[in-house]
Amino acid sequence: MARKSIPEVERLKVWVRAGGRCELCGTYLLEGKLTYQDFTLGELAHIVGQEATAKSPRGMDPLPKEERDLADNLMLLCRGEHNEIDRKGSLDVMTGERLRHIKRDREEWIRRVTALKPEAGTVVIRLIGQVRGQEVELTKPTAADAVIRSEERFPEFPLSLHGDGFEVDLRRFPHEKTAGPAYWEQCKQQIDRVLEHKLAEALREDSVHHVSVFAFARLPLLVYFGSRLDDTFTVSIYQRHRSTESWCWPDPGDAPRRFVTEAPHTSHPDAREAVLLLNISGSIQAAELPEQLASLPRWTIRPQDITPSVDVINSASTLDEFTSVLRQLLSELEASHKGMQRLHVLAAVPVSAAVTLGRVHDANVHPTLVIYDRTDNQYTTALEIS
């Protein structure tokens, strides 16, 4: 018996809701991969089989027969994915419930993206490194999902041949766990190589107005990376949140958390060097300072009324509060300590705060930042930002 044809209006709904792409693998289904000619390559796949029989994939579902050819029960798939989900060995995995969940999430995502205005674009920059041999997922789809959900922007990836945006990959450099001078220098050069060439070219073409930053690397490199981002465009900084295991900024809910600055007990207007402790995600004690820093005047920024922890910076608005306090401190040092040349920074901070430190520092007016790294329970100088 011939299969019943799907009504044309339901076909159109599926194609539009799916954005012309396979709802499982994302392949664009209106253009050939070899000739780039216009073709209609997609197939409509039933979530619950068209016939209420055991031979029809997922056909024994209680969904009424008159609803099986409606758009809500159909997915746009490429031929390979369609064939696989209907194979006997896949039915226990690609259940009706799972396919409905995938369809719903995919189509909601497409609806959000297509509702965004053209000026809501953002260029995504990913800094991918290791922290003591560990990595986190930082893929292009991960970044794209975060900017759409967190800011209602759509990701633009215009700055490379394959449209992947910026990717500063530090994973190929050896000796990350011991992180000696050679490691820091190699990574700095790689950051400069990507930003100074690709970004500079894009700026000359006036194609960058907003940037979304995703970074995972050793803390000194995060600070250096932030310092190399130009002030001619707006920057949004993201981080991976342990509480949700996501790069999306959570809904802040309550008011943003506050931060306070603790200054030295006595004035040091002539000090040429000082220490800045950033106790945000953890607490660095005075006893942990390297011996040569122990006698220097010391400023500390910490959360107000709560204990430092990994999830203190839990929203973009809380990051803004941290940024404001940090800017204020650097401005006060510039105004009241004109002779200060070096500020030694020991930081227990999340990714977003480390990148922010580099962004806030103004090499033309602020002291040189000496960034320290913690290795084998000791703080040693990693790099300087001047």
**Sequence-separated (6 or more) residues with CB below 8 Å from residue 321:** 256, 257, 258, 259
Query: What integer pLDDT is reported at residue 161 of this predicted model?
Result: 34
Query: What integer pLDDT is reported at residue 323 of this predicted model?
Result: 96
Tokens coding 116: 């965004």
CA nearest neighbour of 212 among 118, 125, 120: 125
Kindly report, residue by residue over 151-160, the tens digit of the pLDDT. Answer: 878 777 554 4
DSSP string, 277-336: EEESSS---GGGS-GGGTTS-EEEEEESSS---TTS--SHHHHHHHHHHHHHHHHHHHHH
Find out whether 52 and 73 touch, Cβ atoms under 8 Å: no
Predicted TM-score (pTM) of the model is 0.75
Place 205 in a pLDDT band, splitting at 50, 70 and 90.
Answer: low
Instruction: Considering the domain delimited by 259-385, tell me its CATH architecture.
Output: 3-Layer(aba) Sandwich (3.40)
The amino acid at residue 219 is L
Mean pLDDT of the chain: 89
Rounded Cα distance between 195 and 33, Å, is: 32
CA nearest neighbour of 40 among 29, 56, 48: 29
Q: If DSSP codes are grouped into helix, strand and coil, which group holds residue 72?
A: helix
- What is the arithmetic mean of pLDDT over 202-225? 84
**Sequence-separated (6 or more) residues with CB below 8 Å from residue 210:** 121, 122, 123, 153, 233, 234, 235, 236
- What is the arithmetic mean of pLDDT over 91-102? 94
Tokens coding 264: 């030295």
Q: Do the domains spanning 119-237 and 259-385 agree at the CATH topology level? A: no
Query: What integer pLDDT is reported at residue 157 of this predicted model?
Result: 58
Kindly report, residue by residue over 217-245, the tens digit of the pLDDT. Answer: 999 999 999 999 877 678 999 999 888 88
Kindly report, residue by residue over 310-346, the tens digit of the pLDDT. Answer: 989 999 999 999 999 999 999 999 999 989 999 999 9
Q: If DSSP codes are grouped into helix, strand and coil, which group holds residue 150?
A: helix
Question: Is the pLDDT assigned to residue 79 strictly greater than 70?
Answer: yes
**Helices and strands: H and E segment counts in the chain:** 9, 13
Kindly report, residue by residue over 10-60, the tens digit of the pLDDT. Answer: 999 999 999 999 999 888 999 888 887 888 889 999 999 999 999 999 999
Q: Which CATH class is domain 119-237?
A: alpha beta
Tokens coding 271: 């000090």
Question: Is the pLDDT assigned to residue 73 strictly greater than 90?
Answer: yes
- Helical (H) or strand (E) element with 122: strand 121-128
User: Where do the domains of the chain lie?
Assistant: 8-114, 119-237, 259-385
> Which of 70-79, 96-105, 155-164, 190-199 shows the lowest mean pLDDT across its residues?
155-164
Tokens coding 272: 């040429």
